[in-house]
Copies of this chain bind each other. A is one copy, B any other.
Amino acid sequence: MISGRCAACKYLRRRCPSDCIFFPYFPPNNPERFASVHRIYGASNVAKMLQQLPHHLRGEAADTLCYEAECRTQDCVYGCVKTISQLHQEINKAECQLAKTRAEIAFISSSGGQGRTTTTSTSTSLPITSSTQL
């Protein structure tokens, strides 16, 4: 059975007003979602951040705050900055791979198509681990 109060008001053990700022974004059946942002930002800071936005942007703001809070809970030192760092590394790798492949094209072109192609015979998919995906 789902209570009429949102997850935030249940967590904070208070009445959920009809104009509750949390209600649309923190449904009662997902208590961990609110617990996570509360742990990192505190309820009043989350309310303040949502209140300063127009209604149509609040859902996405709540989602990104939850994402960042979950990352920070999982990694207290780096949070989601770890993901950013990993993605920069992936891009650097891809950039190197592309440069090598282009060098190989130049080599093949100059040798009349007789160049070896072993350098670029590895998998075409970039090694992005599932942990770096949003």
Binding site for B on A (CB under 8 A): 40-42, 44-45, 49, 52-53, 57, 60-61, 64-65, 67-68, 72, 76-81, 83-85, 87-88, 90-91, 94-95, 97-99, 101-102, 104-106, 108-115, 117, 120, 124-126, 128, 133-134
Q: List 22 A-B contacts (CB under 8 A).
A: A42-B42, A42-B45, A45-B45, A61-B77, A68-B68, A68-B72, A68-B80, A80-B84, A84-B134, A85-B134, A88-B133, A88-B134, A91-B91, A97-B98, A102-B120, A102-B124, A105-B117, A106-B117, A108-B108, A109-B113, A111-B113, A112-B112
Do the beta carbons of A91 and B128 come within 8 Å of each other?
A: yes
Do the beta carbons of A60 and B76 come within 8 Å of each other?
A: no
Do the beta carbons of A125 and B88 come within 8 Å of each other?
A: no
Residues of B within 8 A of A60 (CB): 77-78
Main secondary structure of the interface of A (DSSP, over half): helix
Q: Beyond A67-B81, A68-B80, list 9 extra A-B contacts (CB 8 Å).
A: A41-B41, A41-B45, A45-B45, A61-B77, A68-B68, A94-B126, A99-B124, A105-B117, A109-B113
